[in-house]
Amino acid sequence: MIHVLLDSSIYRGDPLRRRLAFATLTGLCEKELVVLHVPTMVKREFTTNLVLEAEAILVEAVRSLNRLRRFGGPHKERGFVEASWKELQTFKGRYGQYSALSFDAWLRKTNAIEHKVRPECLADVLDQYFEGELPFRTIKSEKIFPTHLFARS
User: How many other β-carbons are positioned within 10 Å of the β-carbon of residue 146?
Assistant: 8
pLDDT at 36 over 90: yes
Instruction: Please give the Cα distance from 86 to 29 (Å, whole number).
Output: 42
42, 75 contact by CB (below 8 A): no
Q: Which pLDDT belongs to residue 94?
A: 79
Least confident residue range of 50-64, 69-83, 112-126: 112-126
Mean pLDDT for the chain?
84
pLDDT at 49 over 80: yes
Whole-number CA gyration radius for the chain:
21
Average of per-residue pLDDT across 99-126: 86
Percent of the chain clearing pLDDT 90 (strictly above): 33
Please write down the HEC assignment for all residues of the chain: CEEEECCHHHHHHCCCCCCHHHHHHHHHHHCCCEEEEEEHHHHHHHHHHHHHHHHHHHHHHHHHHHHHHCCCCCHHHHHHHHHHHHHHHHHCCHHHHHHHHHHHHHHHHCCCEEECCCHHHHHHHHHHHHHCCCCCCCCCCHHHCCHHHCCCC
What does each C-alpha distance from 87 to 52, 62, 145, 147 come to in angstroms? Answer: 19, 9, 38, 42
83, 129 contact by CB (below 8 A): no
Enumerate the domain spans of the chain: 2-117, 119-153
Q: Please, which pLDDT band fits residue 146 given cuts at 50, 70 and 90?
A: low
